[in-house]
Structure 1
């Protein structure tokens, strides 16, 4: 027994040292507070927008066709140039039309001479009829002859006008102002009245239309939100146009109308936007995108995207700093993106501090040292873009 006493004493001392060390050890989470960056949420007025694809189309389109038959004597415009309404475009051979006008003028002169003679005769017979020098029948005949002569003058005058219209049709003019395309005929070609093929096409490009399509389900959701009062209408807001390379177009557009019929094959309806195009940058058939305001959300809560995480089931959550200075996990519901932020529908409110940096080194219940994110680095909350899939950040 005495032989093993020194060994027992040493073991007792070692055990006492280990127990003392264990008793003085604290939870590492409670020793130091992790440094994190937070964003204190505030309410804001947010314009919710929708970016829709579309194609440009001319404001006005007119196909130039001849209204009389003839040989093209000369083309009077430069292909691709700007033309004004009434500007001559083609000159047809008008020799026959000029001859018809001369004939009609001669017939008018003859009718006017007959009218003069009939008027003089009727006047004389009327004087003689007062003294019963001529019969009543002769007087009535003279009056009828006068009226017939007046009608003949009207017919001749109308014939002159008709021949002049035909003569004017020999000079084909631009029906509208705009940019004219290439000519389908050359000098010496024979054209016929109301032919199927157009001689040229004039398109008015300033302003220009942008034709868009939007899902009918989105329209239904928007109307429900407006009826519920969660959104305010934005029909008066301008429409932003983005070019094919993503560059914003310098002139905003205005929503002209929405189609009243949904395409059953696509489940979408058409929208048309009118855009000023003074420099003719937008050309017909060009692919563009339009950012249209759907509504204004008052007192909206926006959270930076890095502050929202999802579990394997897709449930969204955020880590917030509680009043006790410790980390808490908050389940949230988000609907769409607004720039680089999420629009929160439920789970967070004004004044909550959402952790956006330092998430890797913290956990629920840990004390943290808070640093507020600089206001200059916070995303702009002026407009919104819907997420392609609102269920995933």
Structure 2
């Protein structure tokens, strides 16, 4: 029994030594900066700062075809996606009432002409009798006045008849432009009323090879946008394809919703393949500043803060700064130093450089950013320097500064 006990004790000691050795090796590996931290090399390159907004694709010319007369839709000649020519019939309304009104006014013209002929005969007769002094001057003047009134009645009747004929022609709705039908609001047998306002029956896009994007940019970004700037955008239908447009107009009419002021920016887009359709949502980016051959650091390096620095602050009674969710430097976020309160250019930050196996904080002055990399304007940072962008935890907690107690 004593021998078995000694064997068990020996096995336990050996397992403890092995486990301790493994733990010690892991701790040494975890403390090695080369394996503990994610590193990146400082390089030179170009960076473009952009402003972003969402917008809607629309045809350059969208014609809403309505009607000036009321009636029931009797015939439909076009449907969705049909190509139409200017003057082509689109639909017909029931013309029973309008046609009856036109015939009535035509009859009024005939009646007025008959009255005019009688007035002309009376006036000629009175003129002859007045010359022979068989009628008085008053009777002759009355005949002349009746002739003038009959002429006016004929003109009035003809004008009413022309109006009714125009309304009769309006029962056939024709296309005002060449284009494509993108919307049909009415169906066969539907009654449309034009009593108070012109109802929209059909919408026609004149040319889908040229489109426009109507976007809303915040007032903080509108100062960087100029007419003629290039704009890049994507749509959900083609997520892996970038499209290019050009800023056509910055509308001066602001929109204020919940104290947020935005301005409508219209962007022209060429659509020769006609793959972009009306109503698509466009995610627009406009490049407002560009720098070439400048020193760049990843934004992740500007957000990184070693755990030791946070623990040191906590020991000194300071609240540790949380880096989670920190906005990228150069966009109102990132660590701020003497340049606090300045926007974009002139902002300061701190990166950690790995030198001689130790982390060294380096203060830098920041320029513009593309949300991935940020321009370095000045600071003790050179090309090729290795900076820390994060920690490789791999599920293992970073080593604590407190040593293990030995009993």
Q: Deviations over 1:42-66 (max 9, x none)?
A: xx9x874312222224553526467
Aligned to 1:383: none
1:287 aligns with 2:281: yes
Whole-Å separation in 2 of the counterparts to 1:138 and 1:197: 52
Kindly state the Cα deviation for residue 121 of structure 1 after the two structures are TM-superposed: 3.8
Structure 2 counterparts to residues 170-189 of structure 1, below 5 A:
170-174=171-175, 177-182=179-184, 184-186=186-188, 189=189
Aligned to 1:212: 215
Whole-Å separation in 1 of the counterparts to 2:115 and 2:198: 47
Aligned to 1:316: 350
Higher mean C-alpha deviation, range 189-198 or range 172-181:
189-198
CA RMSD of aligned residues (A): 4.2
Aligned to 1:261: 255
The answer (yes or no) to whether the contact 2:112–2:150 under 8 Å persists in 1 is: yes
Higher mean C-alpha deviation, range 139-148 or range 167-176:
167-176
Over 3 Å counting, the alpha-carbon distance change for 1:307 and 1:135 in structure 2 is: closer
Aligned to 1:67: 69
Structure 2 counterparts to residues 1-393 of structure 1, below 5 A:
48-59=49-60, 60=62, 62=64, 64=66, 67-70=69-72, 72-123=73-124, 125-126=126-127, 129=130, 132-174=133-175, 177-182=179-184, 184-186=186-188, 189-194=189-194, 200-204=201-205, 206=208, 207-219=210-222, 222=223, 234-244=226-236, 245-249=239-243, 252-264=246-258, 267-276=260-269, 277-294=271-288, 302-306=294-298, 309-310=301-302, 312=305, 314=335, 315-317=349-351, 331-338=363-370, 341-344=373-376, 346-347=377-378, 354-356=382-384
Aligned to 1:385: none
The answer (yes or no) to whether the contact 1:66–1:172 under 8 Å persists in 2 is: no
Higher mean C-alpha deviation, range 282-291 or range 87-96:
87-96
Kindly state the Cα deviation for residue 300 of structure 1 after the two structures are TM-superposed: 7.6
The answer (yes or no) to whether the contact 1:308–1:318 under 8 Å persists in 2 is: no
Whole-Å separation in 2 of the counterparts to 1:84 and 1:355: 64
Kindly state the Cα deviation for residue 285 of structure 1 after the two structures are TM-superposed: 2.7
Kindly state the Cα deviation for residue 85 of structure 1 after the two structures are TM-superposed: 4.9
Over 3 Å counting, the alpha-carbon distance change for 1:192 and 1:308 in structure 2 is: closer
Over 3 Å counting, the alpha-carbon distance change for 1:283 and 1:40 in structure 2 is: closer
Kindly state the Cα deviation for residue 143 of structure 1 after the two structures are TM-superposed: 1.6
Unaligned runs of 5+ in 1: 1-35, 224-232, 320-327, 361-393
Over 3 Å counting, the alpha-carbon distance change for 1:156 and 1:167 in structure 2 is: same
Whole-Å separation in 1 of the counterparts to 2:190 and 2:258: 46
Kindly state the Cα deviation for residue 125 of structure 1 after the two structures are TM-superposed: 3.5
The answer (yes or no) to whether the contact 1:50–1:291 under 8 Å persists in 2 is: yes
Whole-Å separation in 2 of the counterparts to 1:129 and 1:47: 98
SS of equivalent to 1:138? helix
SS of equivalent to 1:218? helix
TM-score normalised over the length of structure 2: 0.58
Q: Deviations over 1:317-349 (max 9, x none)?
A: 487xxxxxxxx98522224324864234x425x
- Tell which has more relative contact order, 1 or 2 (C-alpha 8 A, sep 6+): 1
Kindly state the Cα deviation for residue 309 of structure 1 after the two structures are TM-superposed: 3.8
Kindly state the Cα deviation for residue 130 of structure 1 after the two structures are TM-superposed: 5.4
Over 3 Å counting, the alpha-carbon distance change for 1:343 and 1:353 in structure 2 is: closer
Over 3 Å counting, the alpha-carbon distance change for 1:307 and 1:164 in structure 2 is: closer
SS of equivalent to 1:281? coil
Kindly state the Cα deviation for residue 164 of structure 1 after the two structures are TM-superposed: 1.1
Aligned residues, how many?
295
Q: Deviations over 1:348-368 (max 9, x none)?
A: 5xxx983236568xxxxxxxx
Unaligned runs of 5+ in 2: 1-39, 306-320, 322-334, 336-348, 354-359, 389-407
Q: Deviations over 1:235-289 (max 9, x none)?
A: 2324333233142225545235254233225x24142324344544322331211
The answer (yes or no) to whether the contact 1:61–1:202 under 8 Å persists in 2 is: yes
Q: Deviations over 1:359-387 (max 9, x none)?
A: 68xxxxxxxxxxxxxxxxxxxxxxxxxxx
Kindly state the Cα deviation for residue 308 of structure 1 after the two structures are TM-superposed: 8.9
